[in-house]
Amino acid sequence: MHRTFSATLLALAVSVASASSNPAMAADYRANPFTLTYAGAVEENVPGQLNVHPVTYTLNGLHIAANVYTPAGYDPGKTYPTVVVAHPNGGVKEQVAGLYAQRLAERGYITIAMDAAYQGSSGGAPGGVDRPSYRIEDIHGAADFITQYPGVDVTRLGLLGICGGGGYALAAAQTDQRFKTIATVSMFNSGRVRRNGFADSQLDSIHDRLRLASEARAQEAAGGSVVYSGDADMTDAQIAALPFEMYRQGYEYYWKTHAHPGSTFRYTTSSLLDLMRWDATDQIELIDQPLLMIAGSKADSLYMTEEAFAKATGTQDKELFQIDGATHIETYWVPQYVDAAIGKLGEFYGRTL
């Protein structure tokens, strides 16, 4: 089924840049004890109310930093449906992953948002390694941890992936049957984009970039310095000149309005050896659980969600839900669009968990 969300309130055009002049749309991480960057974030834990619990656990010898959100009235002696939330590329748990985790906790779910290994506050050296197998393992590891958490109903475990986390969520759910239902928001197919470029704009340079990645790995193996891609120190004019809206708005979100010291676009160039041979839609037909894919109707990344949705032939319970008027990054923070996504997620998880 394919449905488009529309509402007269969403006719209001909102730009990410406007968040700089409207602090209600974001929060300064330095003023929040949990360093959360989103508007309306938990500022203190109060008994009986929605609380956030910073936790750490070990995954393959690395410490993983995560936040567990528990709903108002949480009683560890009871059981609750639970959702694992995977963050975007370059993101951390304190940004949009935390926002969606908190909003779902407001609806009665236990949720966990974790920093990927080698990223954010999680362990792993060198920092910034971005290999699909690691990101997929992060999701399996979060399930390992949260299913041992007091109050979690292991028979009602859901998965939510946002942006790059959405592509990795699709991959993790192909084999991890602990996840009874899967949803994505603004899914980003990291392998396809690293290989072909955004909107297939770099098809003529694939082997040049593979050569650079191979040289970077050889340099690391020889004990040399680590080479990085995606470093960002751009002027407003340079940001405005970027060819894709997702990237223009992404720089505003990650470097200005919702900035966090753990968040960076930087990744090791050698990671491309793994990224460029991977694709989020490989074996996607293995998914037989209910699947909801959410994206903005004006997102220039929409083609990735549409392609994955069409290839997900293993489940008959699937829906592509477009938020009318939203771009990719606007689903991270614009109140009307987040409300639309959360409303749909609440309906979906309420039915499938």
Q: Cβ contacts of residue 37 below 8 Å, gap of 6+?
A: 26, 27, 28, 29, 94, 95, 98, 258, 259, 260
Question: pLDDT value at position 80?
Answer: 98
Please tell me the predicted confidence (pLDDT) of residue 20: 36
Query: Which pLDDT value is given to residue 128?
Result: 93
The predicted structure's pLDDT at residue 94:
98
| 50 within 8 A of 102, measured Cβ to Cβ | yes
Q: What is the pLDDT of residue 242?
A: 84
**Superfamily of 2-352 according to CATH:** Alpha/Beta hydrolase fold, catalytic domain (3.40.50.1820)
Q: What is the pLDDT of residue 332?
A: 97
Which parts of the chain sit beneath pLDDT 70?
1-24, 232
Report which residue type is found at 61.
G
pLDDT score recorded for residue 12: 27
pLDDT for 183: 98
Which neighbouring-strand residues pair with 127?
A: none
The torsion angles phi and psi of 284, rounded to 5 degrees, stand at: -65, -20
CA distance 73 to 162: 27
Q: Residues 6 or more apart from 269 whose CB is under 8 A from it?
A: 212, 213, 216, 227, 228, 229
Stated pTM of the model: 0.92
Please give the C-alpha separations between residue 307 and each of 51, 132, 311, 328, in angstroms, as whole numbers: 37, 19, 6, 16
One-letter amino acid at 314 equals: G
In the structure encoding, which two tokens stand for residue 24, read together? 């209600």
The 3-class secondary structure across 117-185, one letter per residue, is CCCCCCCCCCCCCCCHHHHHHHHHHHHHHHCCCCCEEEEEEEEEEECHHHHHHHHHHCCCCCCCEEEEE
Residue 184 contacts residue 294 (beta carbons within 8 Å): yes
In this predicted structure, what is the pLDDT of residue 218? 98
